[in-house]
Amino acid sequence: MLDDSDALPTRVVRGPRLCRSIGIICTIHNKCTILRHSAVQGSPMALPHDIDRERRYRVVVVGAGVAAGVLAVLCLLGWGLDAPVLYSYGGAYAYTTPLSAILILILGLSTAVGHRPGDTRSRAVATLLAGVAAVLCTAVLMEHLLAMSSGIESWFWVDTATLAGAEHPGRPSVQTTLGMLILAAGAIAVTAGNGRSRRFAAVAGLAAGVIGVLGALGQVVNSTSLYSSAAVGASGLAYPTSVGMILIAAAQMVVAYPHLTTFTASARARVTMTRLLPAVILVPLVTAIAWGTIHATPASATLGSLVAAVGIVVLAVQVWVTARAITDTDRDNLDLVEALPNGTIHVRNNHVVSVNPAVGEILGVSSADLVGRSVDEAFAGPLTDLYTAIHRLRRRADHQAATEIRLTRADGRERIVMVNGRPLQATGHWLYVLQNITDQAHAQERLAAAHAALKDRLSSQEMRLLRYGAVVESSLDAIISKSLNGEILAWNSGAERLYGYPENEALGQSVQMVVPPDRQDEFRDILDRVRRGEPTEALETVRITKSGRRIDVQLTVTPLRAPTGEVVGAAAIARDVTHVHEQEQRFRSVFEASSTALLIVDGAGRVESANREALQMFGYPREEFIGRTVDHLVPTASRGSHADHQRQFLADPQARVMGRGRDLTAVRRDGTEFPVEIGLSPVHLSSGVSVVASVINLSDRVRTQRLLEDKNADLERSNRELQDFAHVASHDLQEPLRMVVNYTELLASRYQGNLDERADRYIGFIIEGGHRMRQLIKGLLVYSRAGSCGLNMRPIDLSQVVSNVLCDLQSSISETGTEIEVGALPVVAADATQLRQVLQNLISNAIKFRGTAAPSIHISSRAEAGEWVISIADNGKGFDQDYSEQIFLMFRRLHGIGEYEGSGIGLAVVRRTMERHGGRVWCESQPGVGTTFHLAFPVAPTAAVPPTESQTEGIAGGETRTYSPV
């Protein structure tokens, strides 16, 4: 032991904040009294001593179960051999009945095999045995309660009916039956295996054990209130029965013990249970004995025994619940103390009782090295200064003073610690608080040293260093100075940003902390080069940040030399190139994923890189293709001219398509040639000009072009045949039809009235059919010409075309009283003749299919999605929208033949004409409301913009109104 004369020099500091912390912590300790430092028992971690303890419990449980079974067998042998000493143990007041022995045997076997948590089959057998015992006990208990006799005791031992000394000589006593029933319930709970059921088993074991102990004690002191069942005609609780119940009850409590200690692990809880349990057991026991002495009747005797057992169980459970609540409170206080940032050391009688995790972090030792040892042993060696501080604090009357000490941890790192302590309420208990002020002290020391240096030395050299320091600090790159063994001596703000370590954490550490494990050999090689005075320039490598993220850096390491020329360290400049590598990776991904063959060629014409599509197109493996000149990809006959074109391109490198207007071919590895199109894009690098060449295989395009040419030839041939058909229809077919119609009309004019009425009607049918056939042929000729005639496309003013069409339809307009309103119309690219026919068809249809009201037609235009849409709306009869597509088919009518004139081919001509103009036509209609036809024309480059204000000029009531574009 050290006294004050042996203490190391320390300085006493008044620390108000630390003292207030001491007061709070002491309050917690006074409430918690003595907190356990180790984890609460029942932890799921299987420690070796836990395994040994479980094995001991298993031996005790199996031994108790087997002992109970052996006791039961001895009782049964006593009955079989007529040896009363085996089933009464010399007790003169009660004996163990055969049924009681059988129940003990069953429950003993259930206890011996049912405690294994992982053995499902054994647990099932134990549950079955306990269930059988429960059923038997219930039956016997009902006999006692209902004062009936079913003779169940004679089922297992016939001779019991001949026993004397009781009303029911073979029936177990009330205490025996109730105790066995409680044990059976506990045995079933044990097999369930969970904590709640096993705590119930503990309560059941306690209750049954109390009954057994009371019965045995009653036999000893001859107190009928504790063992007798004479009130219900049974002998009472015998010695063997009491022993068997005590053994089985003890086994059940041992099985449940780990689940009970989970909540009674703190010292205060154990003290509480130790002090209260004797009183809990003795007070009801003495009360029961006194009760039986005062009320010496059979009924009172039985009641006293049961009341004592129930009282002990209830009070024991209350004590356990109280201990559990105390443990929960202690655990909360312990968690609070362990969460404190300052270290706490609890000393009792000069021995360390507990420490929180912060102590190990400050002192650099584990809790196991301190707890349980004396203060002088725990804080010996490098921690002697701490022991001295503790010793001096215990002798000092003023507990508000804190002592600052310096410690050297086992790992060699220094710690500056503020120590304070005060006694707890319990005698011999002290609490010490350690506050790590190393960073603050070092900061103060550095600040004082820097202030002194700035005050004492301001030479020109130092100013120069300050300027260099400003440059280093403002650099975006990480600049680090390190010794020859890798210790960090300088760390700028760029290094803080790059690696994530602040300067105070990095200084003094090894630069290996930013080197990944797989780059340690590289790091050692760099240090070896530094020691030899060799620099490392532009090394692309990988480093790791504080958060564990790997980054790509470009590293330059330069040796630092003393004035004598000796290498004393190194300066490292690291630049983050992660973004550059990511860009390169993205470019590589796009380069490889491109469906176009891509080559990168240097100024000498050698292939530097090629994607998968290029390798597949030319048939080369990558290792053979890279480094090969592009001359090998050009046909032999074209290589001379290709060299000239290559020189011309490099002389003025610009993005261009190679061989425009010429057929280019390339050569595969197997010598086959194929047509290509090549695009060239120069890339200017520091090493020179490289060229990115995109190569497109035109084989499919050439085949498609040839197929298209064949289809165009077939189309031209089909058009010629259609024109020929139109010629035949216009001349060769009409001539016979004209002859039939003319002669039929001549026949009708001469012989009408001379034949019967039927003949005249037939002649009329022939004439009408001939005229209709002539109209169909003319319509078919018009439709054919609409698709075969050439288009004279030019800008057409739709306003002028509409005016001309209205002039042509002036007669129909006047006759029907049609009112026409024309809005502003644009200029479109179209064939004037065919466009006029389209508009005339649509306007004449609007007049023809009019309703009961006077016809009204509105012509307007609008621009949308790169098209001019011309709308012609009327108020005619309209039709169902479902027929909006059918009306554009040839010869398709929505009315009967003869109801309206026409061939039914006009709208088909309109659609075909619009399709040839690259436009569209569609309609919207509603019966009884009217129809709107829409014509969509592509916007022509020279198309005029429609006027901003619509002007309505048209024809109404036979009067022509002109329209002029704005």
Kindly report, residue by residue over 797-825, the tens digit of the pLDDT.
988 899 888 888 888 888 888 889 999 99
* pLDDT, mean over the chain: 75
Q: How far apart are the first and last CA of the chain?
A: 117
- The residue type at 421: G
Q: Looking at this protein, which amino acid is placed at residue 838?
A: V
Give the Cα separation of 302 and 227 in Å (integer). 7
Kindly list the distances between the CA atom of residue 611 and the CA atoms of 4, 588, 591, 616, 669, in Å, as whole numbers in the listed order.
83, 9, 6, 9, 16
Q: Is 68:258 a contact under the CB 8 Å cutoff?
A: no
What is the reported pLDDT for 706?
82
CA distance 796 to 793: 9
Question: Percent helix, strand and coil across the chain, each rounded to 5?
Answer: 55, 20, 25
Structure confidence at residue 516 (pLDDT): 92
Which residue in the block uniquely carries the two structure tokens 């058009």? 719
Helix axes 174-192 and 195-221, enclosed angle (nearest 10)? 160
Who's near 259: CB < 8 A, 6+ residues apart?
42, 195, 198, 199, 202
- SS3 call for 105: helix
Mutual angle of helices 757-788 and 699-727, in 10-degree steps: 150
Say what the pLDDT of residue 878 is. 83
pTM score above 0.85? no
Q: In sequence order, what are the residues at sequence separation of 6 or more whose Cβ sits closer than 8 angstroms to the Cβ of residue 669?
A: 618, 619, 620
Distance from the Cα of residue 619 to its chain's centroid: 44
Of 128, 129, 217, 229, which is closest to residue 178 (Cα–Cα)?
Answer: 229
- Average pLDDT (284-307) is 61
| pLDDT tens digits for range 192-226 | 767 677 778 878 888 888 788 877 777 776 665 55
The span from the CA of 810 to the CA of 957, in Å, is 10
Residue 122: what residue type? S
- Give me the percent of the chain exceeding a pLDDT of 70: 72
Segment 357-377, tens digit of pLDDT: 888 888 888 877 888 888 888
pLDDT on residue 590: 81
**Three-state SS for 928?**
coil
**pLDDT digits over 712-727, tens only?**
777 777 766 666 666 6
Q: What would the mean pLDDT of 769-781 be, rounded to a whole number?
A: 65
* Two tokens, residue 914: 């619009």
Q: Which two tokens stand for residue 578?
A: 């992660």
Task: Please name the amino acid found at residue 314.
Answer: V
Distance between CA atoms of residues 182 and 207, nearest Å: 8
CA–CA gap between residue 920 and residue 908 (Å, rounded)? 12
Read off the pLDDT of each residue in 954-965 and give the average, rounded to a whole number. Answer: 36
Cα 158 to Cα 106, 148, 151, 550, 717, distances in angstroms: 19, 18, 10, 87, 122
Say what the pLDDT of residue 252 is.
83
pLDDT above 50: residue 965:
no
- The C-alpha atoms of residue 659 and residue 90 are separated, in whole angstroms, by 125
pLDDT surpassing 60 at residue 523: yes
> What residues form DSSP beta bridges with 924?
932
| Cβ-based neighbours of 720, under 8 Å, separated by 6 or more | none
pLDDT at residue 844 tops 50: yes
Angle in degrees, CA 286, 290, 293, rounded to 5: 140
Percent pLDDT > 90 in the chain is 3
Q: Measured between alpha carbons, how far is 934 from 45 in angstroms, rounded to an integer?
A: 84
Give the total residue count for the chain.
966
Pairing verdict, β 819-822 and 856-864? parallel
User: What residues have CB less than 8 Å from 228, skipping those under 6 apart?
Assistant: 93, 94, 173, 218, 236, 237, 298, 301, 302, 305
Question: What are the tens digits of pLDDT across the range 61-80?
Answer: 888 888 888 888 888 888 88
pLDDT bracket for residue 515 (50, 70, 90)? very high
